[in-house]
Amino acid sequence: MSQESPTPLLFADLGLSDAVMKAVAAVGYETPSPIQAATIPAMLEGRDVLGQAQTGTGKTAAFALPVLSNLDFNQTKPQVLVLAPTRELAIQVAEAFQTYSSGIPGFRVLPVYGGQPYGQQLQALRRGVHVIVGTPGRVIDHLDRGTLDLSELKTLVLDEADEMLRMGFIDDVEAVLKKLPETRQVALFSATMPSQIRRIAQTYLKNPAEVTIVSKTTTSANIRQRYWWVSGMHKLDALTRILEVEPFDAMIIFSRTKAATEELAEKLQARGLAAAAINGDMQQAQRERTIGMLKEGKLDILVATDVAARGLDVERISHVLNYDIPYDTESYVHRIGRTGRAGRTGDAILFATPREKGMLRAIERATRQPIEEMQLPSVDAVNDTRINKFMSRISDALDAGGTDFYRDLLQKLEGEKNVPAIDIAAALAKLLQGDSPFLLTPPVRGAREERAPHPRADRNDRGERPARFEPRFERGPRREDDRGPRPPRPEGDFGGNDGGFERAPRREIAPRGEPEPGMETFRIEVGHVHGVKPGNIVGAIANEAGLESRFIGRIDIRDDFSILDLPAEMPADLLSHLKKVWVSGQQLQMRKVEPGEDTAGSGSARPPFKPKFGRGGKPGGPGGHRGPGGPGGNDRPPRRDGFKPRGPRNG
């Protein structure tokens, strides 16, 4: 089912219960969005739903409203389970359920996620809840403990399934799906539909109603997108100019690293701005307090990483600024989706260096929207803004009154010192400003500071050529000692008499050595064969143990297990819990490495590289390559650079 334009239906026409309709009217909803109009009737009928729509289109209400209408409030066991990729999104969805159930007395919803104490969750589960919203890891943990009973579950909702795939949770999602009752309703929502998500839908959904919201762009048309070339000027100075001149209510500034968020927030605070950082190293309670301050207007700027801001929906956010360009286009879409939601307008600004031009073009192709180049506010514009704000503050103070006491003091000073009142006012203004200069001064190279990349750079912009940063990380220059001399290439054919490749000897793994002081080495039963990456391991342990990622030491991934360093003397109950945590479809089974234990293992290296051959046959076979001038070949010499593996994807 496809919808391209807003439906003329009203919420009153969709068949929602009276109690839910009261809440809908209270929040001011009248006309459903396309995905809501297509999804709500299908879910009210009990059908499975496969929904595809971009972020910010109203997916939460699309499944929450029919779920609430179908609940049996006399039942205490969980009837609905919503899986979300991040804690922030789980909290947001739970809050949405609370909003939509304002007219339903006795309704109970429980968010469950890592980093929150178990006691609070267990107590709520014992009392009984109607809806559970959780992250996959914590939900599986409750299932393994026997504290979560899904025997009477009616509906499972997978929210942002593509994001769960990108974050490495898809195996955990399947593990939950396998534990569901035979008769249940499944609703899967995803912004994109990769093959893995499509496979899950085909396996676990029964004759689903397919809802696809066709969009001309993958980003909201309500968002104005601009970029600024970072050249000849520090990014912080450019950011300061934009913040002073650009009118905004609240802003999210995205940075790549956790340390960068804190550093940037401190520098903005030093400039008198109401800013705070939010990242994965912060305790969940602190993150929630920070977001609450943003909602209440006590903060105007949030400096965040991608994961920390996932699922964040604050109505005040009018601007999103990408201080660092993301590594992939999907992250960009999710970032700017924090503004321009629910029909509101928004602005997105991107800082890009000339060497990141390829990524900028990749973003334009992915979003199918041009991003306009912005001109940095000039020195004169910034100074004019500062002067106007200064004058406005004085006018506001005069209008507010209450200056009689200060007028008497200044009249006394004027008489005693025989100083004109205007000079006294100027001295007070200087005291207020402090040591920082009031006006900006033009830089020495002001004519070059805002110049875009030289036109010659366009020669390297070759249309559909893959962006440099999109498929792989940038690698610095190789040192001479990074690898030994290249072994000599065999003469004649590429391989031996059997036509195969000459194989280099298996490289041995270097000894791991002793852990750092205060750390111990642990073994977990997940490795290369399970498709695990270091980020999967760090994310799982940090979330489940409530441990800041900077306290997780070196990680060595073997074929079927991994070795990592963690703080010494971990509590026994925490270690027991981590044994049961699932990563990439495997329980960690974490244990300490015993003294003298061999940590290299029989699988200390990846399986050997096996070349893939085309239909023409293997080298040396019929139709195969026999070297220059051989049958079936050509006169070109073989490539000298050999096979170059691609770097890791940022996925």
The percentage of the chain sitting over the pLDDT mark of 70, rounded to a whole number, equals 74
Is the pLDDT assigned to residue 603 strictly greater than 80? no
The helix/strand count (H/E) of the chain reads as 19, 21
Query: pLDDT category, 65, cuts 50, 70, 90?
Result: very high
**Which of the listed ranges 147-161, 462-476, 537-551 does the model predict with the highest average pLDDT?**
147-161
The better pLDDT of the pair 150, 499 is held by 150
The better pLDDT of the pair 1, 278 is held by 278
Lowest mean pLDDT among 48-57, 91-100, 241-250, 516-525: 48-57
pLDDT of residue 500: 43
Q: What would the mean pLDDT of 98-102 be, rounded to a whole number?
A: 89
Q: How far apart are CA 158 and CA 244, in angstroms?
A: 41
The better pLDDT of the pair 611, 101 is held by 101
Is the pLDDT assigned to residue 492 strictly greater than 70? no
Amino acid at 107: F
Q: In sequence order, which residues have a C-beta less than 8 Å from that of residue 254 and are 6 or more positions away? A: 304, 305, 306, 309, 320, 321, 322, 323, 324, 326, 335
**Which of the listed ranges 136-150, 434-448, 516-530 does the model predict with the highest average pLDDT?**
136-150
Q: What would the mean pLDDT of 45-54 be, rounded to a whole number?
A: 88
Query: pLDDT category, 561, cuts 50, 70, 90?
Result: very high
Which residue is it, tokens 């109203």? 58
Q: How far apart are CA 57 and CA 59, in angstroms?
A: 6
99: nearest Cα among 20, 190, 168, 177:
20
Say what the pTM is: 0.46
Lowest mean pLDDT among 28-37, 379-388, 595-604: 595-604
Model confidence pLDDT, tens digit, residues 392-442: 777 777 778 778 788 888 888 877 878 888 888 888 877 877 766 766 666
Q: What would the mean pLDDT of 187-214 be, rounded to a whole number?
A: 88
Q: In sequence order, which residues have a C-beta less than 8 Å from that of residue 439 and are 6 or more positions away? A: 383, 386
Specify whether the CB–CB gap between 3 and 33 falls below 8 A: no
The better pLDDT of the pair 559, 498 is held by 559
Q: Which helix (H) or strand (E) segment is 578 a member of?
A: helix 572-579
Integer angstrom CA distances of residue 605 from 95, 138, 482, 531: 47, 32, 18, 14
Q: How far apart are CA 87 and CA 286, in angstroms?
A: 13
pLDDT of residue 80: 95
Query: pLDDT category, 132, cuts 50, 70, 90?
Result: very high
Is the pLDDT assigned to residue 455 strictly greater than 60? no
pLDDT of residue 459: 40
Lowest mean pLDDT among 205-209, 387-391, 478-482: 478-482
Specify whether the CB–CB gap between 43 and 187 falls below 8 A: yes
Q: What would the mean pLDDT of 637-645 be, rounded to a whole number?
A: 40
Q: How confident is the prediction for the chain on average, in pLDDT? A: 76
Q: What would the mean pLDDT of 48-59 be, rounded to a whole number?
A: 80
Report the 10 Å Cβ neighbour count for 561.
22
pLDDT of residue 286: 87
Pairing of strands 2-3, 209-213: parallel
Q: What would the mean pLDDT of 515-528 be, rounded to a whole number?
A: 86
Q: How far apart are CA 470 and CA 644, in angstroms?
A: 17
Q: How far apart are CA 133 and CA 91, in angstroms?
A: 8
Q: What would the mean pLDDT of 620-636 be, rounded to a whole number?
A: 39
Amino acid at 449: E
Is the pLDDT assigned to residue 523 strictly greater than 60? yes
Dihedral over Cα of 68, 74, 79, 81: its sign: positive
Model confidence pLDDT, tens digit, residues 535-558: 889 888 887 776 777 778 889 999
Token representation of residue 100: 């939509």
Lowest mean pLDDT among 230-234, 257-261, 538-542, 629-633: 629-633
Lowest mean pLDDT among 168-182, 411-425, 610-624: 610-624
pLDDT of residue 129: 93
Specify whether the CB–CB gap between 110 and 135 falls below 8 A: no
Tell me how far apart the terminal alpha carbons of the chain are, to the nearest angstrom.
30
Is the pLDDT assigned to residue 40 strictly greater than 90? yes
The percentage of the chain sitting over the pLDDT mark of 90, rounded to a whole number, equals 23
Lowest mean pLDDT among 18-22, 212-216, 514-518: 212-216
